[in-house]
Structure 1
Amino acid sequence: MSPQLGLFAGTVLSARVERAERSLIEEGARAAARRDPRERVLMVPLGSGLAVWAGPGSPLDKVVGVGMGDEFDDAALDAVEQAFAERGAPVQFEVSTLADPSVAERLTRRGYVLFGFENVLGLRLNPGRQAHTAEAVAISDVGPEEFETWLNVVVDGFAAPDTQGIASHEKFPRDAIEHSVRDLTSSSGFVGSLARIDGVPAGGASLRLSDGVAQLCGAATLPRFRRRGVQGTLLAMRLAAAAAAGCDLAVVTTQPGSKSQQNVQKLGFQLLYARAILVHPAPAT
């Protein structure tokens, strides 16, 4: 496949992607607050970024988008750390390698530990993009009547991650994954897709459209259906839908060296940048 031309992974592109990520996490947190008003959901701006706590063990509990132009002072960071400590939670920053380098320096001086990296890959989308799919895989958008089926497939797939590449340091309780997926599906521009093989649910994925950026997220395949073209077909269909909706950029976040990264690179995605995962441990109890 020919290389993507004109997709330069600079600070402008990174800031655009990080804004989309921030808006996704923020909308998920707002949905968590609506779902359970008793939870002390936290949403605190930190310069260009946002600190979110959406519930115990939630995948949404993180700080995203920092270092992309707007600064934050130590007092704001103190307040975030105190709020997370009150909830018995670690503080996890996901910092782009194209963010202001002083952010990572400040965090390490405060005792944050580097736990790993995640890769952000991108693909330029052109109008009229067509989907090339595996013959045995059927894809449908998820309506209300199929939502629970889709949710179970996605959560079950996440519970049995592919072992190729670098393993994630994160492990989430099943109920926390289910809550976060439900919350994210209420995000604007969000569409779920369900894959079937011989009429049997085999995998699921989601697509979020935000300011011309197509975010590919929530993809999972049940173990017995892996290596049969499910993820490739889900990818192809979502990319075609995003192009038809007028998006000019598709992005996906993967573990380094994972099967997911391999799948998207087969479709022409290129590595844009990485995010460093920096964590301040939860207070001892």
Structure 2
Amino acid sequence: MKDDVLKVSTAQRLERSEMEYMIDRMRAIEERSGNPMGIETQYFGEAVAFYSREMPWPQFNTVKGIGSAEESYLSEIISFYRSRNRNPHIEVTPLRAEPTLFRSLARQGFFQSSFHATLYTGCKKKSASPLEKWTNDKENAEIIEINSNQFDDYAMVHCLGTGLPISGKQHIADNNRILHGRKGWKYYVAYYNNEPVGAAAAYIQGSTASLTFATTLPAYRNRGIQTLLIERRMRDAVQEGCNLIVGQAAYLSSSFRNMQRAGMQLGYTRSTWSSLMPLSGLM
């Protein structure tokens, strides 16, 4: 695979990778005893709708894989969420973008609220790329693939690095610990002078690796921690036999630039559509 030429088949793998890790993640959370997060996943044609009763954030209440073929399901998709007092975020990739779909979304009271970038790199096990030269001694940082007893460190960094209240640490730990040992999932914590300062996750499905999450504590940013976390996950993916590595980030964000520094390039930007209707008007 040549990194400078994006084929339709590769773009399809980029989209599929994001759907696959989210499906597996939500399925694992749903399988917790009693389904405490109230997870539901429903298919509408090739589109998949994710919902969580206890986690109102967009990433857990979103529609992926929708295209013009799913226009006939649009009212049903919206009803699925509004019957649960939730407005969904609907994601459309360039592969599925059609004027008729956008008009239908607008008629249903949705507007394009943002873009989000998908980046990728192809890699071969014997290439002379920076992946083979990875080192973990930069600025006294050590990257560890964690075990099930280290999720408190992971959850603490996750909360403080993303601006979530630390009171939610146990929920973050529980919802991610269940993925530990599940096929394809890997979790990492970056320690700086033995203190947890960064966290990241990856999901491997077949020959594709998805960099699903990463963050660094604000006080430790701009020290190369994220670059090390990206490179470590890349190295492990190559060793697992992957030939495609995929990540998502806000366009031109620090995460976007970190992925570029690690050799990833822009695959496409997808659009996110949000509802104009306030939740108070749904019931």
TM-score, length-scaled by structure 2: 0.85
Q: Which residue of 2 aligns with 1:252?
A: 247
Aligned alpha-carbon RMSD (Å):
2.6
- Counterparts of 1:77 and 1:32 in 2: how far apart (Å)? 26
- The answer (yes or no) to whether the contact 2:208–2:246 under 8 Å persists in 1 is yes
Q: Which of structures 1 and 2 has the larger relative contact order (alpha carbons within 8 angstroms, sep 6+)?
A: 1
Task: Choose 149-158 or 219-228, whichever is displaced more.
Answer: 149-158
Q: Which residue of 2 aligns with 1:139?
A: 143
Q: Which residue of 2 aligns with 1:88?
A: 85
1:51 to 46, 49, 52: 49
Q: Which residue of 2 aligns with 1:109?
A: 107
Give a deviation string over 1:222-263, Cα, whole Å, max 9, x none.
Answer: 111111111011111110110010000111100111111111
Give a deviation string over 1:127-185, Cα, whole Å, max 9, x none.
Answer: 0442244242101111011122112212221117xxxxxxxxxx9x9579826545665
**Cα separation, partners in 2 of 1:177 and 1:39, compared to 1, 3 Å:** closer
Residue 95 of structure 2 aligns to a residue in which SS?
A: coil
Residue 50 of structure 1 aligns to a residue in which SS?
A: strand
Residue 193 of structure 1 aligns to a residue in which SS?
A: strand
1:230 to 225, 228, 235: 225
Q: Mapping of 1:254-269 within 5 angstroms?
A: 254-269=249-264
Q: Which residue of 1 aligns with 2:162?
A: 158
**Structure 1 unaligned spans of 5+:** 161-170
Say how many residue pairs are matched.
268
- Counterparts of 1:92 and 1:34 in 2: how far apart (Å)? 24
Give a deviation string over 1:169-205, Cα, whole Å, max 9, x none.
Answer: xx9x957982654566575301001101111111010
Residue 6 of structure 2 aligns to a residue in which SS?
A: coil
Q: Mapping of 1:1-285 within 5 angstroms?
A: 5-35=2-32, 36-37=34-35, 40-56=38-54, 57-58=56-57, 59-67=59-67, 71-74=69-72, 76-101=73-98, 102-128=100-126, 129-130=131-132, 131-133=134-136, 134-159=138-163, 174=168, 178=172, 181=176, 188-280=183-275, 281=277, 283=279, 284=281, 285=283
- The answer (yes or no) to whether the contact 2:208–2:244 under 8 Å persists in 1 is yes
- Counterparts of 2:179 and 2:84 in 1: how far apart (Å)? 22
Residue 198 of structure 2 aligns to a residue in which SS?
A: strand
**Structure 2 unaligned spans of 5+:** none
- The answer (yes or no) to whether the contact 1:153–1:202 under 8 Å persists in 2 is yes
- Counterparts of 1:52 and 1:28 in 2: how far apart (Å)? 11
- Counterparts of 2:262 and 2:26 in 1: how far apart (Å)? 32
- Counterparts of 1:176 and 1:79 in 2: how far apart (Å)? 35
Task: Choose 190-199 or 16-25, whichever is displaced more.
Answer: 16-25
- The answer (yes or no) to whether the contact 2:139–2:223 under 8 Å persists in 1 is no
- The answer (yes or no) to whether the contact 2:148–2:177 under 8 Å persists in 1 is no
For 1:55, give the aligned amino acid: R
Shift of the alpha carbon at 1:10? 3.9
Give a deviation string over 1:42-64, Cα, whole Å, max 9, x none.
Answer: 21212322111022414321001
Percent of aligned pairs with the same residue?
Answer: 22
**Cα separation, partners in 2 of 1:143 and 1:186, compared to 1, 3 Å:** closer
- Counterparts of 1:94 and 1:107 in 2: how far apart (Å)? 11
- Counterparts of 2:148 and 2:105 in 1: how far apart (Å)? 43
- The answer (yes or no) to whether the contact 1:157–1:221 under 8 Å persists in 2 is yes
Q: Could you say which structure has the higher helix fraction? A: 2
- The answer (yes or no) to whether the contact 1:189–1:210 under 8 Å persists in 2 is yes
- The answer (yes or no) to whether the contact 1:46–1:71 under 8 Å persists in 2 is no
- The answer (yes or no) to whether the contact 1:208–1:214 under 8 Å persists in 2 is yes
**Cα separation, partners in 2 of 1:184 and 1:89, compared to 1, 3 Å:** farther
